[in-house]
A = this chain, B = another copy of it.
């Protein structure tokens, strides 16, 4: 299925002729030849040792095929050539960013073209008056954040993988992060897109203005579409002014329900924290074991709240009082940015620490109405007991977005089976509580059977019909979402 360029030397005339002669069978060699007819040789990778390394994102339990070829486009024209070729040959295309996704949405399918957008990584413009940035899809989230910071600006979306993940990937999954409780998710920062369609045509959506309602909001349709509708090659992103440095408070609770009660009181009280995170007992213990952070082992739930307001100390005092009223056993407000950073380290270490428990984790991403967070945590504990598993929960608690993390030994088939079953049961619980199966990680391969349960048969039918409009041949990231 894979043929390197050396085995099948390029013939420009043949390839050019073939490119205009309409659909042709997708026989080995032809694909790579056609790609090379319009791309620099070093953009087309065919060595199986290399292409195999592009097969997966970071999700567990998600099958991945062997790519026929990996293309690293550098220009919009490169991408158009790939899509024209793929359409002609009816070859599936799997777009990829940094492959930090957690749902298998970027996993290769057998014989596909992996389209890695990581080399299209230019920040084209940062405008402090219009408060927009114009970027290529391969720009790393942290690189953009730092660049706009130098202009006194702020690009809020901050997935945990922000030092690696790309803006294109963030757009594909509409990713969130810690900031969302105050600043919302990626979707709210995408004003306009340039998209290469399945057949290679270029379409612009949206705008660079602050407002605009000319026609259907195709921009938002593409955000979160996991590469299944087209290839984003350029994005106009909204920026905000850089807020003051945030100050963090940690509150320890003797029960998860008391912590959830505090969260409800904080939100009901009209507070707008820049971060409101929860770690359960299991997570606290895992972090302690890994990093010896000296968190009290008696802690059943640790709440972290932050404010980036004009007077964060006053806001922390008000929230601290609410935590105490809800039964916090200890409330520790940071005095400065350095102390705040220390308090956040525990949260940042959570997933690594949970991974260390059993070697492998499955990170769920169920979001419930925040008023149901207590029920969610209680239910997860029940599920962990039922399946005899360690399930740690850290949560973007202010959003009701939990990451129940199932710790298991992937070498143990029975434990692996129980892990997968508990993972599903957690999604079922989320739906029962009026929530969604995915708050920010996307559906990918991992949750596609669950999508239908969440959105129902009519919704599913309409979603499939929309997919059909943009991808009539079904070549764009097939097997994902549906």
- Are A215 and B439 within 8 A (Cβ)? no
A74 close to B (CB within 8 Å): no
Complex contacts, A242 vs chain B, CB 8 Å: 270
Residue of A210, A220, A454 ringed by the most chain B CB atoms within 10 A: A210
- Are A129 and B268 within 8 A (Cβ)? yes
- Are A216 and B221 within 8 A (Cβ)? yes
Q: Mark A132-154, 1 if CB is under 8 A from B, else 0.
A: 10000000000000000000100
Contact among B197, B210, B311 with A367 in the assembled complex (CB-CB below 8 Å): B210
Complex contacts, A469 vs chain B, CB 8 Å: 462, 465-466, 468-469
Given the known interface contacts A129-B370, A130-B371, A202-B458, the answer about A481 and B215 at a Cβ–Cβ threshold of 8 Å is yes
Given the known interface contacts A128-B268, A242-B270, the answer about A459 and B204 at a Cβ–Cβ threshold of 8 Å is yes
A211 close to B (CB within 8 Å): yes
Measured CA separation A59–B130 after assembly (Å):
30
Complex contacts, A204 vs chain B, CB 8 Å: 455-456, 459
How many A residues are at the interface, by size bracket? Answer: 35 or more
How many identical chains are in the complex? 2
Complex contacts, A181 vs chain B, CB 8 Å: 210
- Distance in Å from the Cβ of A326 to the closest Cβ of chain B? 13
A53 close to B (CB within 8 Å): no
A174 close to B (CB within 8 Å): yes
Complex contacts, A185 vs chain B, CB 8 Å: 211, 213
Contact among B212, B270, B310 with A309 in the assembled complex (CB-CB below 8 Å): B310
Contact among B174, B201, B225, B229 with A458 in the assembled complex (CB-CB below 8 Å): B201
Complex contacts, A224 vs chain B, CB 8 Å: 213, 216-217
Segment from A61-69, A109-117, A296-304, A429-437 that makes contact with B: A429-437
- Are B439 and A400 within 8 A (Cβ)? no
A327 close to B (CB within 8 Å): no
In chain A, residues 173-218, which have Cβ atoms closer than 8 Å to a Cβ of chain B? Answer: 173-174, 176, 180-181, 184-185, 187-188, 197, 201-205, 207-218
A442 close to B (CB within 8 Å): yes
Complex A-B, nearest 8 residue pairs according to Cβ-Cβ distance, in ascending order = A241-B270, A220-B220, A210-B399, A212-B436, A211-B439, A129-B371, A465-B469, A209-B367
A-B contact pairs, 17 of them (CB 8 A): A128-B267, A187-B217, A202-B458, A203-B459, A204-B455, A208-B434, A210-B399, A211-B401, A212-B367, A214-B447, A215-B443, A216-B221, A217-B220, A241-B271, A242-B270, A466-B466, A468-B469
Known: A209-B400, A218-B466, A220-B220. 20 other contacts (CB 8 A): A128-B268, A130-B369, A174-B213, A184-B188, A201-B458, A203-B458, A205-B455, A205-B459, A207-B435, A207-B436, A209-B434, A211-B367, A211-B400, A214-B437, A214-B443, A214-B455, A215-B481, A216-B463, A217-B223, A462-B469
Chain A positions near chain B (C-beta within 8 angstroms): 127-132, 152, 173-174, 176, 180-181, 184-185, 187-188, 197, 201-205, 207-218, 220-221, 223-225, 229, 240-242, 264, 267-268, 270-272, 309-311, 367-371, 396, 398-401, 434-443, 447, 451, 454-456, 458-460, 462-463, 465-470, 481
